[in-house]
Amino acid sequence: MPRDIVAITGASSGIGKEFASRLAPTHDLILIARREERLRALAGEFERAYNTGTEVLVADLSAQDDLDRAAARIENEPRLVLLVNNAGFGTRGRFWEAPLESQQKMHRLHVMATLELTHAALRNMVPRDRGGIINVSSVSAYVRVPGTVSYAATKTWMNTLTEGVYLELRAMRSQVILQALCPGYTYSEFHDRLGVDREELDRRPGFWMTADEVVEASLEGLRRRKLFVIPGWRYRLLAAFLSKLPSGLRLQAEAIGGKLRSGQDEVRSETPKQVKAPE
Ligand SMILES: NC(=O)c1ccc[n+]([C@@H]2O[C@H](COP(=O)([O-])OP(=O)(O)OC[C@H]3O[C@@H](n4cnc5c(N)ncnc54)[C@H](OP(=O)(O)O)[C@@H]3O)[C@@H](O)[C@H]2O)c1
């Protein structure tokens, strides 16, 4: 019997790759990202180990033609049971100092690609009354700190979209599941691309999680049909605490968080010329 299919964006590394590894033994996969050789290596690995039918879809999801091609594939796949909108990246520097181009690209990837792929998947899943979508957001949707303005804005948008669609589906008693996955600091290539030293990351013991832990929490949340999944009790506590504070106090807490954040000195001292685009 043919297996159900899962489509994963940003499957070439980090959290997306971990979703693929977890699901490969039981599902066929559509792996989406730009680095073709990485995706092909993974596909070969899964095929050899689990006989997984793996399709490699090479796409830059911040480019409209590639995004349309991926959306058409997702909308027309009758065996699709899960879409993981995971592709993403961060930037550093104050909003007006960081290059506009990389922030526009971030909005195209986090917002427009999530919008179009979620729309395509729901047109496929809702009539069949089956399936689910995981939007990989961030704890930054709850904790906005200086130096991460576009990132936090796009991730907050992701949570709002996910919640809105969840309510629409619930109102029609649909079986289709929506999840906003909100990880905190997670070991992956995310911080490598930002030029953050891995040793710098280890200065926050207890706050760093592995992609494995994040994906485990997400899949457990999916089984329990949880709308918001925040892996790690420290982050759940932080998000709950901040969302209960009056806005004045919340802003003070976020300003302190910005000072404590690693790399903050760099954020303060960087001139516009020194802030590099990560992509
Ligand atoms: N790591 C963290 O601390 C953390 C915390 C909270 C949330 N997150 C979120 O988790 C998600 C996954 O990040 P990660 O930590 O796993 O980082 P990662 O290892 O850098 O993975 C990012 C993935 O996104 C893909 N990608 C980036 N730009 C793309 C584009 N234009 N088109 C298609 N694919 C693109 C990359 O593949 P290619 O380069 O091959 O295209 C890669 O597979 C992101 O949405 C991120 O915001 C991460």
pLDDT digits (tens, 9 = 90+) for 71-124: 999 999 999 999 999 999 998 899 999 999 999 999 999 999 999 999 999 999
Do 30 and 206 form a contact (C-beta atoms < 8 A)? no
Query: Which pLDDT belongs to residue 255?
Result: 82
Distance CA 246, CA 150 (A): 23
Q: Which residue minimizes the CA distance to atom 34 of ligand 1? A: 33
The strand pair at 80-85 and 5-9 is best described as parallel
- Smallest CA-to-CA distance from 144 within 219, 256, 35 is with 256
The predicted pLDDT at position 269 comes to 34
At residue 204, the pLDDT reads 65
Is 147 a pocket residue for ligand 1 (Cβ < 6 Å)?
no
Q: What is the third-level CATH fold of 5-269?
A: Rossmann fold (3.40.50)
Domain ranges of the chain: 5-269
Q: What is the mean pLDDT of residues 126-143?
A: 96
Rg (CA), the chain: 19
Q: What is the pTM of this model?
A: 0.92
| Mean pLDDT, rounded, of the chain | 91
Q: How are strands ordered across the β-sheet holding 28-33?
A: 54-58, 28-33, 5-9, 80-85, 132-136, 177-181, 228-229
Number of H-type helices and E-type strands within the chain: 12, 7
Q: What does the pLDDT read at residue 261?
A: 64
Q: Tell me the two tokens of residue 274.
A: 């020194």
CB 177 within 8 A of CB 133: yes
Give the rounded percent of residues in the chain with a pLDDT score beyond 70: 90
Say what the pLDDT of residue 268 is. Answer: 39
SS3 label, residue 176:
coil
What does the block give as tokens for 161? 């979209």
* 146 Cβ below 6 A of ligand 1: no
Instruction: Report how far ligand 1's centroid is from the alpha carbon of 19 (Å).
Output: 12
Q: What percent of the chain has pLDDT over 90?
A: 76
Q: How far is the CA of 171 from the centre of ligand 1 (A)?
A: 32
Residue 227 has pLDDT above 60, yes or no: yes
pLDDT at 276: 45
Name the DSSP class of 66: H
| Top mean-pLDDT range of 45-54, 199-208, 245-254 | 45-54
**Choice among 27-36, 49-58, 113-122, 254-263 with the minimum mean pLDDT:** 254-263
